[in-house]
Amino acid sequence: MKPIIKWAGGKSQILPLLIERLPENFNRYFEPFAGGLALALALGKEEIFISDVSSEVINLYECVAQNPDRVLAELADFATTEKDYYRIRSMDKEPGFANMDVFKKAARFLYLNKNGYNGLWRVNKDGFNNVPRGRYSCIHYGVENVREVGRYLGAHAHIEKCSFEQTTIHARENDFVYFDPPYHNTFTNYNAQGFNEEMQRRLKAEVDRLTQLNVKVMLSNNDDIFIRELYADYNIVGINAKRYLNSDGNNRTDGREVIVTNY
């Protein structure tokens, strides 16, 4: 299975590096910053807990888990012209958006994710999507993969819109938690709240709490002094990873990231 959405900071490109650093054995899998779910889908564990603070992301996964074909049917009604893109993008400003059918809302999110520039999901301070239309000659939604991911999530996943602490409160000894938060000093506009240094410290405190419970933890983040000092008591490995968010494709250079583990 592959991710059904593009995601800034998605882990598909570094999956081999993550997989080779997994604990030798563990029970249940937790991923509190769901994003594209690249690692969760690659592992295919029997019981997984996924969450995110983004209602759009979680609604998509909940709807795909319930009925992927209904999401795909709604998606088929969305044309991909420039006029249609901006009309569909502006739906979140309409008074009735909060009460929109959840499957139509899930299809809209998937549509904007695939048709928006560079696969970026970004919102302004008011929570409205503001990504311009991408220049694509053909859009592929990966219909069969959407169905496969939907069947897997429906059978094996606990899906919830909540903070990372509310998800990992369920973790116990020999479970495995993978944290992939918005990176320090990089793009954090996935939602209107952002993810600042106070949030990074809150996350570190949760890693400490889980470590005391003998929960196995892996974390990805930017390779900088702040993160290295924050996790100085843990195992840190630096890696190279391609950065795809630059508007100029020729300037998307390698960036440094860290993989932090407590085992």
pLDDT band, very low/low/confident/very high, at 254 (cuts 50, 70, 90): low
**Residue 120, domain extent:** 12-261
Task: For residue 162, tell me if it sits in a domain.
Answer: yes
Over residues 52-64, the mean pLDDT reads 95
- CATH code for position 126: 3.40.50.150
| CA 220 – CA 37 distance, rounded (Å) | 14
- Please check the confidence at residue 157 and state whether its pLDDT lies above 70: yes
Averaged pLDDT score across all residues of the chain: 91
Q: Which residues of 101-118 are buried (b: 16+ CB within 10 A; e: fewer)?
A: ebbbbbbbbbbbbbbbeb
- Please check the confidence at residue 193 and state whether its pLDDT lies above 60: no
What is the tens place of the pLDDT at every residue in 92-123? 999 999 999 999 999 999 999 999 998 788 88
Task: For residue 7, tell me if it sits in a domain.
Answer: no
3-state helix, strand and coil shares in percent for the chain, rounded to the nearest 5: 40, 15, 40
| CA 209 – CA 213 distance, rounded (Å) | 7
Q: Which residues of 222-256 are buried (b: 16+ CB within 10 A; e: fewer)?
A: bbbeebeebbeebebeebebebbeeeeeeeeeebe
What pLDDT sits at residue 201?
Answer: 97
Lowest mean pLDDT among 55-59, 127-131, 150-154, 192-196: 192-196
Task: For residue 3, tell me if it sits in a domain.
Answer: no
| CA 256 – CA 260 distance, rounded (Å) | 13
Q: Is the distance from CB of 94 to CB of 219 less than 8 angstroms?
A: no
Domains held by the chain: number? 1
Task: For residue 4, tell me if it sits in a domain.
Answer: no
Task: For residue 163, tell me if it sits in a domain.
Answer: yes
Pairing of strands 48-52, 157-161: parallel
- Please check the confidence at residue 137 and state whether its pLDDT lies above 90: no
What is the tens place of the pLDDT at every residue in 229-243? 999 999 999 998 875
Task: For residue 207, tell me if it sits in a domain.
Answer: yes
| CA 204 – CA 150 distance, rounded (Å) | 32
